[in-house]
Chains A and B, each alone.
Chain A
Amino acid sequence: MEFNVTLLGQAITFAILVWFTMKFVWPPLTNMMEERAKRIADGLAAAERGKQDLEAAEKRVADELRQAKQKATELVIAAEKRASQIVEEAKDVARTEGAKLVADAKAQIDQEVLRAKEALREQVAGLAVAGAEKILRKEIDAAKHADLLASIKAEF
């Protein structure tokens, strides 16, 4: 136990060490560690936020998917309705068209019949006149009885 100037020297060394630590060791190290702690906390918060965002997005996707499905179903139903409507309309058109065609055909047939009757009548009249001519050749002078003959022809 001998005290001497060593004590003073040690105290000065100690003071210098403390000063140096206070100036150049402690602040940079603790600042850096705080910075790191902050960065880790930020990272964790960001991860948490990302997780929540993902959940929200998934929910939105499911919502939109459901909406789209609903829309598609509606569209299909509307299309089916429209298709049956179109078929119905086409059937109507076809029906009227058919009726028209049938009516036209009937008119044509009537005309043909009329024409055939006319032709027939003329032929019958001709034949009758020819027959009558043959019978009456001798008695009837064609020239004399021309008016008569013509009236008979017209009567047929």
Chain B
Amino acid sequence: MASNATEYIQHHLTFWNSSHEGGFWSLHVDTFSISLLLGFLFVGIFAKVARNAKLENPGRLQLFVESIVEMVDTQVKEIFHAKSKVIAPLALTIFCWVFLMNAMDMLPVDLLPWIAGNVGAALGHDPHHVYFRVVPSADVNATFAMSLSVMLCIIGFSISAKGLGGWIKELFTAPFHAESLPMIIILAPVNFAFQLVELAAKPISLALRLFGNMYSGELIFILIALLPWGVQWALGAPWAIFHILVITLQAFVFMMLTIVYLSLAVEHH
């Protein structure tokens, strides 16, 4: 069982890589395709509801979509006081997409890998070498893709709010202000270092928080799946129920922090 278990866990934690050698130009097909599918699911449902939205007597799906939109809109309006057409849709996309990606954790941990293995076997591959990771947000590529995009948005928002010159000036004059020129010159590199750390810390913390939560959740599901089948429910059920909270909370936190960072970006120091 022991070597078997190690093999099982390793098999579950290996991506379906487009090239066996790996390297930068290889693609995690599983992460990419599942997140793409979920993204289309999200925009498909929301766009359909938006297109058919009725002013009176909205259906259940419309009410559901409206409640999410309302929640996001409330948060954005409370935190972000400048005018922006991008931030609310951005927040909505983050919340829904991250939630859906996280929710893949709720599927039985062996279901999709098993299907993928059988399909691979049918196509003439060795099922032991068909890898499939179900939860895209347990892939650092997915979480960093979002958080780095958010960082680009932060820089973009800063520049559009303060102008390119204002933004660069702020890189060297905040958070430590000085009145006299020599002090300003002395403080400039310190300020710049602080700003760089601050700028880098945001996407790293965003991405690693989500990745860590989802990766650990997935790992624990894998470990539970190693237990004898008769006792799996005793740990699996509580963990799954708790994980519903984690899934929603991580999506919400990612969205909230994005809004907060962007509202900080447009504020003048």
Contacts and interface: CB of A to CB of B under 8 A. Distances in A.
A19 to B, nearest CB: 8
Given A6-B31, A13-B36, A21 B141 contact: no
Interface stretch (A25-33, A61-69, A138-146): A25-33
Contacts of A20: 43, 47
Interface string B56-92: 1000000001100110010000000000011011101
Contacts of B47: 20, 24-25
Interface residues of A, number: 31
Interface string B37-48: 001001100110
B43 A9 contact: no
A14 B93 contact: yes
Contact of B92 (A7, A14, A25, A28): A25
A151 interface: no
Interface string A1-27: 111111111110111111011101110
Interface residues of B, number: 46
A25 to B, nearest CB: 4
Contact of B149 (A15, A22, A29): A15
Task: State the main secondary structure of chain A at its contact with B.
Answer: helix
Among B15, B51, B53, max chain A CB count under 10 A is at B53
Given A24-B51, A26-B88, 6 more contacts: A3-B24, A6-B142, A10-B142, A14-B39, A21-B43, A29-B50
18 contacts: A3-B140, A4-B24, A4-B25, A4-B27, A5-B24, A5-B27, A6-B142, A11-B149, A13-B39, A14-B93, A17-B39, A17-B42, A18-B89, A21-B93, A24-B50, A25-B47, A28-B51, A36-B56
